[in-house]
Amino acid sequence: MARERRSPQEKKRLEYTRNHFTFGRQSSRTFPKVWKRKKAYVNRSFRRIGDGLLAQAKPGIPAEEAVAIGEDVTIARIEKLRDRRALHKGGTVSVGEKVKLKLERRKEMVRRRVGSHEKYDRLAASAVETLTSLSGEQLAEVAHRASRLCHFIDQRQILRLRQSSDPIDQALHFFRSVSWGSAPEKQALCRNKELWDAWSSWIDTVNRILRRDRRPSERKEQEKVETEKKLKAVNRASRPSE
């Protein structure tokens, strides 16, 4: 007798209702072997604890001592010393329930990702607005602080910036995360072209300020080198010829 042919939709419906799935690290074929091994390990641990408690009861001890040991070794005490890692089976679900759970988990993951993007977008906008609003001596001071954050690691200062409620400190913490390659902060800047252009412009301004402030020290260093060269030339000229 020929078997009744089922449509693809009917096959899929039967697969969703009849087939089952278990959430575990092992496959369904290796689960029985692994489960027996786990049970044996727990039982062996329990027997080892019991043997340790009853080790005092040696053959040939007086009856009074045996009674005393028996009173100390109670069932409640043995149960209390049982291995805390109890065995647990996750159970099985139908394939349809598994697909439903996976879809719900995927939606939650998308919501978490969108929430994370919104959070870092707000941080990026606030940091750029705060840094670009600085000018004069305040801008120069923040530029030097940003330079020190790029070149030196001070965990206490980083922690203070993270916990501070000052907008400048929060902006500097954002700057430090971007300069050290933190992905969420950099992605937040890349998602908004206006923020990225304002950020790049502010970085160029900071670099110009740092170069301007380094010029006096570089000039002094150059003058020192030239003076040393002149002194060496005078010393060579003043030496008596052989």
Please report the DSSP string for 205-228 in residue order: HHHHHHHHHHHHHHHHHHHHHHHH
Per-residue confidence band for 129, with pLDDT thresholds at 50, 70 and 90: very high
Q: Which of 102, 77, 97 is nearest to 15 (CA)?
A: 97
Number of domains in the chain: 2
Distance CA 78, CA 75 (A): 5
Per-residue confidence band for 231, with pLDDT thresholds at 50, 70 and 90: confident
User: Is 222 part of any domain?
Assistant: no
Axis-axis angle for helices 95-132, 8-18 (nearest 10) = 90
Give 78-122 pLDDT, tens digit per residue.
Answer: 555 555 566 777 777 888 888 888 898 888 887 788 888 888 999
Confidence at residue 199, expressed as pLDDT on a 0 to 100 scale: 93
Q: In the 8-state DSSP scheme, what is residue 56?
A: G
Confidence at residue 196, expressed as pLDDT on a 0 to 100 scale: 92
pTM (predicted TM-score): 0.53
User: Is 229 part of any domain?
Assistant: no
- Which residue range forms the structural domain that includes residue 125? 107-215
Q: Which of 110, 63, 54 is nearest to 81 (CA)?
A: 54
Does residue 67 sit in the same domain as residue 113?
no
**Where in the chain does DSSP place strands (E)?**
20-22, 92-94
Torsion of CA 22, 28, 30, 36, to 10 degrees: 60
Does residue 197 sit in the same domain as residue 130?
yes
Instruction: Say if residue 46's pLDDT is above 70.
Output: yes
In three state form, how does the secondary structure of 57-100 look?
A: CCCCCCHHHHHHHHHHCCHHHHHHCCCCCCCCCCCEEEHHHHHH
Instruction: Say if residue 23's pLDDT is above 80.
Output: no
Confidence at residue 53, expressed as pLDDT on a 0 to 100 scale: 63
Does residue 77 sit in the same domain as residue 37?
yes
User: Is 99 part of any domain?
Assistant: no
* pLDDT greater at residue 48 or residue 76: 48
Locus of tokens 């950099």: 186
Does residue 120 sit in the same domain as residue 35?
no
Among 75-84, 122-131, 170-179, 229-238, the least confident range? 75-84
User: Is 131 part of any domain?
Assistant: yes
Q: Which of 101, 93, 103, 100 is nearest to 19 (CA)?
A: 93
* pLDDT greater at residue 230 or residue 93: 93
User: Is 237 part of any domain?
Assistant: no
User: Is 102 part of any domain?
Assistant: no
Does residue 197 sit in the same domain as residue 162?
yes
Does residue 148 sit in the same domain as residue 209?
yes
Give 161-213 pLDDT, tens digit per residue.
Answer: 888 889 999 999 999 888 888 888 888 998 899 999 999 999 999 999 888 88
Does residue 129 sit in the same domain as residue 73?
no
